[in-house]
Amino acid sequence: MGERWALGVDLGGTKLEVARVDGDGRIRDSLRMATDVDGGPAAVEADMARMSRALWEKADSPPEGIGVGVPGQIDGKLGLVRFLPNLGWNNVPLREDLERLLSIPAVVTNDVRAIAWGEHLHGAGRGIDDLVCLYVGTGIGGGIVSGGRLLEGCTTTAGELGHITIDLNGPPCTCGNRGCLEALAGGWAIARQARDMVSNDPLAGERILALAGGSMDGISAATVAKAAASGDHLSLSLLENVSRALIAGCVSLVNAFNPCRLILGGGVIDGVPDLIDKVRIGVKRSALPASTANLEVVPGFLGANAGPIGAACLALGLSPRQPR
Protein backbone atom coordinates (compact mmCIF):
# COMPACT_ATOMS: atom_id res chain seq x y z
CA MET A 1 0.00 0.00 0.00
CA GLY A 2 1.65 3.23 -1.17
CA GLU A 3 1.06 6.77 -0.02
CA ARG A 4 -2.07 8.76 -0.79
CA TRP A 5 -1.88 10.95 -3.86
CA ALA A 6 -3.99 12.50 -6.58
CA LEU A 7 -3.53 14.06 -9.99
CA GLY A 8 -3.85 17.84 -10.22
CA VAL A 9 -4.36 19.46 -13.60
CA ASP A 10 -3.92 23.07 -14.62
CA LEU A 11 -5.58 23.55 -18.00
CA GLY A 12 -4.51 26.88 -19.48
CA GLY A 13 -5.03 28.48 -22.86
CA THR A 14 -1.38 27.90 -23.78
CA LYS A 15 -0.08 25.30 -21.32
CA LEU A 16 -1.41 22.03 -19.91
CA GLU A 17 0.17 20.73 -16.71
CA VAL A 18 -0.57 17.48 -14.89
CA ALA A 19 1.03 16.96 -11.47
CA ARG A 20 1.30 14.11 -9.01
CA VAL A 21 0.44 15.65 -5.63
CA ASP A 22 0.81 13.80 -2.33
CA GLY A 23 -1.45 13.97 0.72
CA ASP A 24 0.68 16.77 2.19
CA GLY A 25 0.12 18.97 -0.85
CA ARG A 26 3.59 18.45 -2.30
CA ILE A 27 4.15 18.11 -6.04
CA ARG A 28 6.18 14.91 -6.46
CA ASP A 29 6.28 14.85 -10.23
CA SER A 30 4.73 16.76 -13.10
CA LEU A 31 4.43 16.89 -16.86
CA ARG A 32 3.77 19.85 -19.10
CA MET A 33 2.93 20.43 -22.73
CA ALA A 34 1.39 23.04 -25.00
CA THR A 35 -2.42 22.95 -24.93
CA ASP A 36 -3.74 21.52 -28.19
CA VAL A 37 -6.33 24.25 -28.63
CA ASP A 38 -6.92 23.39 -32.30
CA GLY A 39 -7.52 19.71 -31.46
CA GLY A 40 -10.55 20.60 -29.33
CA PRO A 41 -11.77 18.88 -26.15
CA ALA A 42 -11.14 15.28 -27.31
CA ALA A 43 -7.46 15.94 -28.08
CA VAL A 44 -6.86 17.84 -24.84
CA GLU A 45 -8.62 15.15 -22.77
CA ALA A 46 -6.52 12.46 -24.48
CA ASP A 47 -3.34 14.44 -23.63
CA MET A 48 -4.48 14.75 -20.00
CA ALA A 49 -5.15 11.01 -19.81
CA ARG A 50 -1.79 10.13 -21.40
CA MET A 51 0.16 12.40 -19.03
CA SER A 52 -1.84 11.07 -16.07
CA ARG A 53 -0.99 7.47 -16.96
CA ALA A 54 2.69 8.34 -17.37
CA LEU A 55 2.74 9.78 -13.82
CA TRP A 56 0.68 6.87 -12.50
CA GLU A 57 3.15 4.30 -13.92
CA LYS A 58 5.97 5.81 -11.87
CA ALA A 59 3.98 5.78 -8.59
CA ASP A 60 3.70 2.75 -6.32
CA SER A 61 -0.05 3.12 -5.79
CA PRO A 62 -3.00 4.32 -7.88
CA PRO A 63 -4.21 7.95 -7.57
CA GLU A 64 -7.31 8.60 -5.48
CA GLY A 65 -8.65 10.84 -8.20
CA ILE A 66 -7.98 13.67 -10.61
CA GLY A 67 -8.83 17.35 -10.09
CA VAL A 68 -8.87 19.84 -12.95
CA GLY A 69 -8.85 23.62 -12.71
CA VAL A 70 -10.06 25.39 -15.83
CA PRO A 71 -9.96 29.11 -16.74
CA GLY A 72 -13.67 29.58 -17.26
CA GLN A 73 -17.17 28.82 -16.17
CA ILE A 74 -18.03 25.39 -14.84
CA ASP A 75 -20.94 23.50 -13.40
CA GLY A 76 -19.22 21.74 -10.53
CA LYS A 77 -22.22 19.60 -9.69
CA LEU A 78 -22.35 18.14 -13.19
CA GLY A 79 -18.58 18.30 -13.75
CA LEU A 80 -19.34 20.25 -16.88
CA VAL A 81 -17.18 22.94 -18.47
CA ARG A 82 -19.77 25.53 -19.49
CA PHE A 83 -17.53 28.00 -21.28
CA LEU A 84 -13.77 28.29 -21.73
CA PRO A 85 -13.17 31.46 -23.75
CA ASN A 86 -9.43 30.83 -24.35
CA LEU A 87 -10.04 27.34 -25.71
CA GLY A 88 -13.40 27.92 -27.34
CA TRP A 89 -15.04 25.11 -25.35
CA ASN A 90 -18.78 25.02 -24.73
CA ASN A 91 -20.59 22.48 -22.51
CA VAL A 92 -17.85 19.84 -22.38
CA PRO A 93 -18.61 16.96 -19.92
CA LEU A 94 -15.01 16.93 -18.68
CA ARG A 95 -15.62 14.95 -15.47
CA GLU A 96 -17.52 12.20 -17.24
CA ASP A 97 -14.92 12.01 -20.04
CA LEU A 98 -11.97 11.78 -17.63
CA GLU A 99 -13.70 9.20 -15.43
CA ARG A 100 -14.28 7.09 -18.53
CA LEU A 101 -10.70 7.52 -19.81
CA LEU A 102 -8.96 6.89 -16.46
CA SER A 103 -11.50 4.97 -14.33
CA ILE A 104 -10.82 7.16 -11.27
CA PRO A 105 -13.03 9.86 -9.66
CA ALA A 106 -12.67 13.30 -11.23
CA VAL A 107 -13.43 16.81 -9.97
CA VAL A 108 -13.74 19.88 -12.21
CA THR A 109 -13.45 23.40 -10.85
CA ASN A 110 -12.53 26.92 -11.89
CA ASP A 111 -8.76 27.55 -11.93
CA VAL A 112 -8.74 30.34 -9.32
CA ARG A 113 -11.07 28.35 -7.05
CA ALA A 114 -8.45 25.59 -7.20
CA ILE A 115 -5.72 28.14 -6.43
CA ALA A 116 -7.69 29.51 -3.45
CA TRP A 117 -8.11 25.98 -2.07
CA GLY A 118 -4.40 25.19 -2.58
CA GLU A 119 -3.33 28.41 -0.85
CA HIS A 120 -5.80 27.70 1.98
CA LEU A 121 -4.50 24.19 2.64
CA HIS A 122 -0.80 24.54 1.90
CA GLY A 123 0.13 28.14 1.04
CA ALA A 124 -0.42 31.77 2.05
CA GLY A 125 -3.74 30.92 3.70
CA ARG A 126 -2.62 27.91 5.70
CA GLY A 127 -4.54 27.69 8.97
CA ILE A 128 -6.78 30.59 7.90
CA ASP A 129 -10.46 29.67 7.58
CA ASP A 130 -11.63 32.97 6.10
CA LEU A 131 -9.82 34.23 3.04
CA VAL A 132 -10.35 35.81 -0.34
CA CYS A 133 -8.01 35.01 -3.20
CA LEU A 134 -7.94 37.46 -6.11
CA TYR A 135 -5.93 36.62 -9.22
CA VAL A 136 -5.22 39.45 -11.61
CA GLY A 137 -3.93 38.01 -14.87
CA THR A 138 -5.21 38.53 -18.40
CA GLY A 139 -8.63 38.24 -16.78
CA ILE A 140 -9.49 38.47 -13.09
CA GLY A 141 -10.68 35.46 -11.12
CA GLY A 142 -11.24 34.66 -7.50
CA GLY A 143 -11.97 32.13 -4.84
CA ILE A 144 -13.46 32.53 -1.38
CA VAL A 145 -12.91 30.29 1.63
CA SER A 146 -15.38 31.07 4.41
CA GLY A 147 -15.51 29.15 7.67
CA GLY A 148 -13.01 26.68 6.17
CA ARG A 149 -15.22 25.90 3.19
CA LEU A 150 -14.65 26.83 -0.42
CA LEU A 151 -17.73 28.85 -1.37
CA GLU A 152 -19.45 27.37 -4.39
CA GLY A 153 -22.76 29.20 -4.50
CA CYS A 154 -26.10 28.04 -5.84
CA THR A 155 -24.82 27.06 -9.28
CA THR A 156 -21.11 26.59 -8.33
CA THR A 157 -19.93 29.90 -9.80
CA ALA A 158 -19.23 31.80 -6.55
CA GLY A 159 -15.96 33.69 -6.85
CA GLU A 160 -16.38 35.47 -10.19
CA LEU A 161 -14.74 38.48 -8.56
CA GLY A 162 -13.53 39.99 -11.83
CA HIS A 163 -17.12 40.81 -12.70
CA ILE A 164 -18.11 42.92 -9.74
CA THR A 165 -19.11 46.37 -10.98
CA ILE A 166 -16.70 49.19 -10.17
CA ASP A 167 -17.93 51.87 -12.59
CA LEU A 168 -21.56 51.95 -13.75
CA ASN A 169 -20.54 53.94 -16.82
CA GLY A 170 -17.24 52.17 -17.35
CA PRO A 171 -15.87 50.40 -20.43
CA PRO A 172 -17.50 47.23 -21.78
CA CYS A 173 -16.41 43.88 -20.36
CA THR A 174 -16.11 40.49 -22.04
CA CYS A 175 -19.14 39.36 -19.98
CA GLY A 176 -21.45 41.89 -21.68
CA ASN A 177 -21.67 44.18 -18.65
CA ARG A 178 -19.87 47.51 -18.17
CA GLY A 179 -17.26 48.75 -15.75
CA CYS A 180 -16.39 45.35 -14.23
CA LEU A 181 -13.20 45.13 -12.16
CA GLU A 182 -11.71 43.03 -14.97
CA ALA A 183 -12.60 45.65 -17.60
CA LEU A 184 -10.57 48.21 -15.64
CA ALA A 185 -7.72 46.22 -14.08
CA GLY A 186 -7.40 42.90 -15.95
CA GLY A 187 -4.38 42.39 -18.20
CA TRP A 188 -6.44 42.64 -21.39
CA ALA A 189 -8.02 45.89 -20.17
CA ILE A 190 -4.62 47.37 -19.26
CA ALA A 191 -3.38 46.57 -22.78
CA ARG A 192 -6.50 48.10 -24.32
CA GLN A 193 -6.19 51.30 -22.30
CA ALA A 194 -2.49 51.54 -23.15
CA ARG A 195 -3.22 51.21 -26.89
CA ASP A 196 -5.87 53.94 -26.64
CA MET A 197 -3.53 56.24 -24.73
CA VAL A 198 -0.65 55.67 -27.17
CA SER A 199 -2.81 56.37 -30.22
CA ASN A 200 -4.28 59.50 -28.58
CA ASP A 201 -0.87 60.86 -27.61
CA PRO A 202 1.91 59.19 -29.63
CA LEU A 203 4.60 61.44 -28.15
CA ALA A 204 3.75 60.51 -24.55
CA GLY A 205 3.36 56.89 -25.68
CA GLU A 206 6.82 56.61 -27.26
CA ARG A 207 8.31 54.54 -24.46
CA ILE A 208 5.47 52.00 -24.37
CA LEU A 209 5.48 51.64 -28.15
CA ALA A 210 9.27 51.17 -28.24
CA LEU A 211 9.06 48.43 -25.58
CA ALA A 212 6.35 46.75 -27.67
CA GLY A 213 8.74 46.57 -30.62
CA GLY A 214 7.03 49.51 -32.36
CA SER A 215 3.78 47.61 -32.88
CA MET A 216 0.43 48.58 -31.33
CA ASP A 217 -0.54 44.91 -31.29
CA GLY A 218 2.58 44.14 -29.27
CA ILE A 219 1.41 46.31 -26.36
CA SER A 220 0.50 44.17 -23.35
CA ALA A 221 0.10 44.63 -19.61
CA ALA A 222 3.72 43.42 -19.31
CA THR A 223 4.84 46.25 -21.62
CA VAL A 224 3.08 48.77 -19.40
CA ALA A 225 4.63 47.26 -16.25
CA LYS A 226 8.09 47.43 -17.83
CA ALA A 227 7.60 51.04 -18.98
CA ALA A 228 6.32 52.04 -15.53
CA ALA A 229 9.35 50.47 -13.86
CA SER A 230 11.53 52.78 -15.97
CA GLY A 231 9.53 55.84 -14.82
CA ASP A 232 7.33 56.30 -17.91
CA HIS A 233 4.62 58.83 -17.03
CA LEU A 234 1.85 57.44 -19.22
CA SER A 235 2.28 53.94 -17.78
CA LEU A 236 2.45 55.23 -14.23
CA SER A 237 -0.81 57.17 -14.63
CA LEU A 238 -2.50 54.14 -16.22
CA LEU A 239 -1.35 51.90 -13.36
CA GLU A 240 -2.58 54.50 -10.86
CA ASN A 241 -6.08 54.01 -12.30
CA VAL A 242 -5.62 50.24 -12.17
CA SER A 243 -4.66 50.41 -8.51
CA ARG A 244 -7.68 52.61 -7.72
CA ALA A 245 -9.99 50.08 -9.39
CA LEU A 246 -8.34 47.19 -7.55
CA ILE A 247 -8.62 49.00 -4.22
CA ALA A 248 -12.31 49.73 -4.87
CA GLY A 249 -12.91 46.07 -5.71
CA CYS A 250 -11.01 44.82 -2.67
CA VAL A 251 -12.83 47.23 -0.35
CA SER A 252 -16.12 45.69 -1.51
CA LEU A 253 -14.77 42.14 -1.12
CA VAL A 254 -13.44 42.82 2.37
CA ASN A 255 -16.71 44.45 3.45
CA ALA A 256 -18.72 41.58 1.93
CA PHE A 257 -16.71 38.58 3.15
CA ASN A 258 -14.68 39.85 6.12
CA PRO A 259 -11.61 37.70 5.32
CA CYS A 260 -8.65 37.42 7.71
CA ARG A 261 -6.40 37.29 4.69
CA LEU A 262 -6.66 38.74 1.20
CA ILE A 263 -4.30 36.85 -1.10
CA LEU A 264 -3.27 38.56 -4.33
CA GLY A 265 -1.62 36.84 -7.28
CA GLY A 266 -1.49 36.56 -11.05
CA GLY A 267 0.63 38.03 -13.83
CA VAL A 268 -0.35 41.67 -13.27
CA ILE A 269 0.44 41.48 -9.54
CA ASP A 270 3.73 39.69 -10.27
CA GLY A 271 4.60 42.38 -12.85
CA VAL A 272 3.65 45.30 -10.56
CA PRO A 273 4.29 44.05 -7.00
CA ASP A 274 3.71 47.59 -5.60
CA LEU A 275 0.01 46.92 -6.13
CA ILE A 276 -0.02 44.75 -3.01
CA ASP A 277 1.10 47.64 -0.77
CA LYS A 278 -1.32 50.01 -2.50
CA VAL A 279 -4.24 47.65 -1.96
CA ARG A 280 -3.20 47.07 1.67
CA ILE A 281 -3.13 50.81 2.40
CA GLY A 282 -6.21 51.63 0.31
CA VAL A 283 -8.37 48.90 1.84
CA LYS A 284 -7.34 49.87 5.35
CA ARG A 285 -8.32 53.46 4.55
CA SER A 286 -11.67 52.81 2.86
CA ALA A 287 -13.17 49.53 4.12
CA LEU A 288 -15.17 49.39 7.35
CA PRO A 289 -12.80 49.50 10.33
CA ALA A 290 -14.54 46.46 11.85
CA SER A 291 -13.91 44.49 8.63
CA THR A 292 -10.20 45.25 8.48
CA ALA A 293 -9.30 44.84 12.18
CA ASN A 294 -7.45 41.53 11.58
CA LEU A 295 -6.95 41.78 7.82
CA GLU A 296 -3.65 40.91 6.19
CA VAL A 297 -3.05 41.54 2.49
CA VAL A 298 -0.41 39.14 1.19
CA PRO A 299 0.94 37.71 -2.07
CA GLY A 300 0.22 34.10 -3.01
CA PHE A 301 2.81 31.65 -1.70
CA LEU A 302 2.54 28.66 -4.03
CA GLY A 303 2.88 30.58 -7.30
CA ALA A 304 2.16 28.52 -10.41
CA ASN A 305 1.92 25.35 -8.28
CA ALA A 306 -1.19 26.55 -6.45
CA GLY A 307 -3.57 25.45 -9.22
CA PRO A 308 -2.42 21.81 -9.59
CA ILE A 309 -2.02 21.45 -5.80
CA GLY A 310 -5.50 22.84 -5.09
CA ALA A 311 -7.15 20.78 -7.83
CA ALA A 312 -5.46 17.60 -6.57
CA CYS A 313 -6.47 18.37 -2.97
CA LEU A 314 -10.09 18.72 -4.07
CA ALA A 315 -9.72 15.28 -5.63
CA LEU A 316 -8.16 13.90 -2.46
CA GLY A 317 -11.38 14.83 -0.75
CA LEU A 318 -9.63 17.10 1.71
CA SER A 319 -12.46 19.55 1.15
CA PRO A 320 -14.83 19.38 4.14
CA ARG A 321 -17.64 19.26 1.61
CA GLN A 322 -17.07 17.13 -1.43
CA PRO A 323 -17.74 19.26 -4.52
CA ARG A 324 -19.53 16.44 -6.26
Does 163 bind Zn ion (CB under 5 A)? Our answer is yes
CB of 78 to Zn ion, least distance (A): 24
- Residue 216 binds Zn ion (CB under 5 A): no
Residue 129, CB-side half-sphere exposure with 13 Å CA sphere: 4
* Of residues 73 and 305, the one with the C-beta less far from Zn ion: 73
Contacting residue, 30, 86, 165, 177, with Zn ion by CB under 5 A:
177
Q: Does the footprint of Zn ion cover residue 11 (CB under 5 A)?
A: no
Collapsing DSSP to helix, strand or coil, 89 comes out as strand
Q: At what angle do helices 221-229 and 233-257 cross, to 10 degrees?
A: 110
Measured from the CB of residue 176, what is the shortest distance to Zn ion in angstroms?
7
Interatomic CA distance for residues 205 and 123, integer angstroms: 39
Question: Site size for Zn ion, by CB under 5 A?
Answer: 5
Given the complex with Zn ion, which of 44 and 173 has the nearer CB atom? 173
Q: DSSP characters for 204-238?
A: TTHHHHHHTTT-GGG--HHHHHHHHHTT-HHHHHH
**In terms of CB distance, is 20 or 163 closer to Zn ion?**
163
Candidate ranges 180-188, 196-204, 277-285, 288-296; the one touching Zn ion (CB under 5 A): 180-188
324 makes contact with Zn ion (CB under 5 A) = no
Please tell me the distance from the alpha carbon of residue 109 to that of residue 133, in angstroms, as a whole number: 15
Q: Please pick, from the candidates 74, 180, 190, 238, the single residue that binds Zn ion as defined by CB under 5 A.
A: 180
Under the criterion CB under 5 A, does residue 106 sit at the interface with Zn ion? Answer: no
Q: Is 175 in the site for Zn ion (CB under 5 A)?
A: yes
Q: Between 166 and 297, name the residue whose CB sits nearer to Zn ion.
A: 166
Instruction: Confirm or reject binding of residue 173 to Zn ion (CB under 5 A).
Output: yes
Min CB(162)–Zn ion separation in Å: 6
DSSP-based three-state secondary structure for 140: strand
Distance from chain centroid for Cα 314: 16
The least distance separating Zn ion from the CB of residue 194, rounded to whole angstroms, comes to 19
Whole-number Å distance between alpha carbons of 278 and 245: 11
Q: Which is nearer to Zn ion, 49 or 256 (CB)?
A: 256
The CB-of-46 to Zn ion minimum distance in angstroms stands at 33
Residue 241 in contact with residue 167, Cβ under 8 Å? no
Query: Which helix (DSSP H) or strand (DSSP E) does residue 279 occupy?
Result: helix 274-286
Residues forming beta bridges with residue 10, ordered by sequence position = 17, 69
> Would you tell me which residues interact with Zn ion (CB under 5 A)?
163, 173, 175, 177, 180
